Structure 1
Amino acid sequence: MPIDPDVAIGAELGTVDFSWTESDVLLYQLALGATDLSYTLETAGLQVLPSFGVVAPTFHASDPPPLDLPGCDINLAQVVHGSQSISVAGPIPPCGSATVTTRISDIWDKGKAAVIWQEGTACSPEGQRLWTTRSSIFVRGEGGWGGERGSSEPVEVPERAPDTDTTYDVWPQQALLYRLCGDRNPLHADPEFAKAAGFPAPILHGLCSYGIVLRTLTEELLGGDATRVAGFAVKFAGVVFPGETIRVRGWREGDRIVASATVAGGERDGAPVLGDVLLDTF
């Protein structure tokens, strides 16, 4: 059995010490298409989008992400990022060091696929929590063992007009730049690998779309102030191909922002990109 939930669920994936610099933050935010100097110039009061915390522990990785998860014998070509969230204790500094501890928190059996959940907590050298991430991967062809299907509460967007409705044009080379932020999965660069995985061409990293949408909502509805973001959660609902356009719509709902992201224009106009988008604010 490729996935053994009795072995996997609750398994500790280890503790990793890591550090980051202003240069890492600048590269990351440039790879998201940031142009405002508060995101792109270290002498302009550099602020850090909280989504950086998701990639910071593996930012300097140069190999494709490993899948040596306890109790899970799976192939990289079977895997699609399912969902991602981060909650921060406060603003992430432009440089620093931390320790992250990660575990497999749950596995869902969706019949034709499995959903593997991981949770990681990053702490400062003094032991203070900096942020917590929660993510899932969707493993095609690995369900059907009779396990729990899991549940989730969908985020409903309001029926009124959005408070922001804007678009972002993904560069043809954006995935090639974003892969320098620590995700060398060939699905995002190698046409032959992408075809073998069932895609007509390399796709944009889901975490790049994640960061683009967070940056857009922060700029449009929070005055560009990344320190107001307390948490950001999404479900990856579809893919984006470099060269396409992402449409971002957001609604203010008290101390939260509810949003959606879809493809705009072309043959795939309206195709979903991110769903269940929820931004919590301080």
Structure 2
Amino acid sequence: MPIDEALALAAEPRTGEITWTPKDVQLYHLGIGAGIPATDPDELRYTLESRLHVLPSFATVAGAGSPGVISGLSMPGVDVDLACVLHGGQSLTIHRPIPVKGRATATSRIAAVYDKGKAAVLVMRTEVADADGPLWTNDAQIFVRGEGGWGGDRGPSARLDAPTGEPDKVVERTVREDQALLYRLSGDWNPLHADPEFAKLAGFERPILHGLCTYGMTLKTVVDTLLGGDVTRVRSYATRFAGVVYPGETLRIRMWRQGAKGSEGSEGAMVSKGSHGAQEAQGVVRVTVGAVERGDAPVLADTVVEHS
């Protein structure tokens, strides 16, 4: 069997040092569409070094070479065809605000292997900490077609009930024609996002946008629209990649405010200290994202932002 569940789960974690600078943060922010309008004070928080704050989704590219989907496919016990691999979902837990400049240790391992029948799902977990303690935990869900059926644990369902009622906010964001070319400078050099011939071989009419670029664009929209532009309020962020985006398209981002689990509503919920000194979430934003030009075709689904 190409995936040896026991071997993959027992493999030694891979550990390495990652570093990032304000320039890396600014480049990432520009890659997800920040800086329009260029002189807007709210946008300068993402682009000007003297005012810089770090959007938490920067964690998915910090260090440019930090362990991720591709490195997970080279772990012991994993031997699969890249053509059968999809990035199925991404979840991020923020333990404390990400500094604009940093040096940290990233420890990566296969945290779970699930048997979905016609496919397998690998959960690649990366935990990052600096000298002051844990910073974030990143989980990439790697979907491998044709590798299930060995009778293993199916794992939890990633599907959530659809949000009900009218959304609190609906925002449209245009993906620039050069968005993927700029975003890939943060470290994802897959030619699928730049080379038309490669994209056609992969079954797409033209290069597609990185799923994690859409992921970042969506979180920025939630922060700017419902969290007062305060990046430090984000506690966790999870999504399922439901479809592709082509550069030049328009994203329609629908947002619903909800109270935190176990609370009666975000307005009156208490905020307490959680592990590592981070505040626990007191509110939740549910999000759906669709591609306007293709009949609102789903792009991100089961998307949840927990916040203080």
TM-score range, shorter chain: over 0.9
Q: Once the two structures are superposed, what CA deviation does each residue of 1:201-241 show, in whole Å capped at 9, x if it has no partner?
A: 22111100100000011111111111111111111111111
Contact 1:114–1:142, Cα closer than 8 Å, also in 2: yes
Contact 1:113–1:143, Cα closer than 8 Å, also in 2: yes
Contact 1:262–1:270, Cα closer than 8 Å, also in 2: yes
Greater displacement, 137-146 / 211-220:
137-146
Counterparts in 2 of 1:148 and 1:212: CA distance versus 1, 3 Å:
same
Q: Once the two structures are superposed, what CA deviation does each residue of 1:110-144 show, in whole Å capped at 9, x if it has no partner?
A: 23222111111111124x11111111111123223
1:23 corresponds in structure 2 to 23
2:296 corresponds in structure 1 to 270
2:269 corresponds in structure 1 to none
CA shift for structure 1 position 92: 0.6
Matched, 1:210 2:215: yes
Cα separation, 1, equivalents of 2:70 and 2:111 = 19
SS in 1 for 2:247: coil
SS in 2 for 1:259: strand
Contact 2:158–2:240, Cα closer than 8 Å, also in 1: no
2:46 corresponds in structure 1 to 39
1:102 corresponds in structure 2 to 108
Q: How does 1:99-138 map to 2 (within 5 A)?
A: 99-126=105-132, 128-138=133-143
TM-score of the superposed pair, with normalisation by structure 1:
0.92
Contact 1:55–1:181, Cα closer than 8 Å, also in 2: yes
- Structure 2: tracts of 5 or more residues without a match: 36-42, 260-282
RMSD value, Cα:
1.7
Contact 1:18–1:98, Cα closer than 8 Å, also in 2: yes
Contact 1:10–1:103, Cα closer than 8 Å, also in 2: no
Greater relative CO (CA pairs within 8 A, separation 6+):
1
1:226 corresponds in structure 2 to 231
CA shift for structure 1 position 79: 1.7
SS in 2 for 1:120: strand
Q: Once the two structures are superposed, what CA deviation does each residue of 1:69-128 show, in whole Å capped at 9, x if it has no partner?
A: 2111123332211111111112111101110111101112223222111111111124x1
CA shift for structure 1 position 153: 5.0
Contact 1:256–1:281, Cα closer than 8 Å, also in 2: yes
Identity of aligned residues (%): 51
Cα separation, 2, equivalents of 1:140 and 1:248 = 29
Greater displacement, 146-155 / 129-138:
146-155
Aligned residue pair count: 275
1:256 corresponds in structure 2 to 284
Cα separation, 2, equivalents of 1:246 and 1:131 = 27
1:139 corresponds in structure 2 to 144
Contact 1:98–1:124, Cα closer than 8 Å, also in 2: yes
Q: How does 1:66-85 map to 2 (within 5 A)?
A: 66=71, 67-85=73-91
Cα separation, 2, equivalents of 1:28 and 1:14 = 25
Cα separation, 1, equivalents of 2:84 and 2:3 = 13
Counterparts in 2 of 1:11 and 1:56: CA distance versus 1, 3 Å:
same
Greater displacement, 104-113 / 210-219:
104-113
Cα separation, 2, equivalents of 1:147 and 1:53 = 31
Counterparts in 2 of 1:51 and 1:10: CA distance versus 1, 3 Å:
farther
Greater displacement, 47-56 / 150-159:
150-159
Cα separation, 1, equivalents of 2:166 and 2:194 = 37
Contact 1:108–1:147, Cα closer than 8 Å, also in 2: yes
Contact 1:157–1:259, Cα closer than 8 Å, also in 2: no
Cα separation, 2, equivalents of 1:143 and 1:249 = 34
